[in-house]
Amino acid sequence: MTITANKKRCPRCRQHRDPSWFSRDYCRPDGRACWCKVCSRRAYRERSWGIPQAEFDKLIDLQGGGCAICRTLLEAAGTYPWTRMDRTEDGRIRGAVCRECKAGLVGFRSDPRRLAAAIAYLA
């Protein structure tokens, strides 16, 4: 069996990816969603936030391909689909961050004073 035999093809981006790149969907015969996570995420971004893929790609590019905070490369397998948008209170896009950093920001309510206090606490 070749390696490609284990891959699932996404009809949207036409890429053959490891099944882990597809969300679980038990309603489907192979137990995986039709579109890969990258495409699902892209559609979600466009639909929910009105961010076209070109704009998103440009943003990631400006950040050197990594999370705006920890610099983890967002293209790396398994992390790219989970890229989160960080926004200011008035809805402006501040940057793209990885899932962990986004969770951190949410936890600290994006409050610089709170984050500074946490740094002092850790030190």
All residues at 6 or more sequence positions from 115 whose CB lies less than 8 Å from its CB, including other chains: 108
Closer Cβ to Zn ion, 60 or 98, answer by number: 98
Q: Residue 74 interacts with Zn ion (CB under 5 A)?
A: no
Name the β-bridge partners of 17.
8
Q: Which stretch binds Zn ion (CB under 5 A): 25-33, 54-62, 75-83, 101-109?
A: 101-109
Q: Contact between 105 and Zn ion (CB under 5 A)?
A: no
| Cα–Cα distance, 19 to 16 (Å, whole number) | 9
Tokens of 26: 């038990």
Contact 22, 39 (CB under 8 A): no
Minimal distance, residue 4 CB to Zn ion, in Å: 16
Q: Which chain residues interact with Zn ion by CB under 5 A?
A: 10, 12-13, 36, 39, 67, 69-70, 98, 101
